[in-house]
Structure 1
């Protein structure tokens, strides 16, 4: 199940460089994950200070 960034995101950007497949990008109000590319590794969640990336 791909990860999704919930509304708790504070747009700090910590998750983006941690993604090994570069599926995270800055959105209008929060970062977003392209579910079609996500490999469900959880690297984004491990660095997020507010636990915004969660499995869908």
Structure 2
């Protein structure tokens, strides 16, 4: 799985979206500091907001 680009992370930040580090799906309704939200696609608690993605280096 490829990590999102910095442009995609900025777009997620603008749209209050998070990204699942397990399945790679984008999820709505996530603050930038979201941490371990439940993914609607894979049901795992692996959705992170844009700020966490950048801090953790999960960027392509």
TM-score, structure 1 normalization:
0.25
Higher RCO (C-alpha under 8 Å, 6+ residues apart): 1
Give TM-score, length-normalised by structure 2.
Answer: 0.25
Q: Give the strand-richer structure, 1 or 2.
A: 1
Structure (1 or 2) with the greater helix fraction: 2
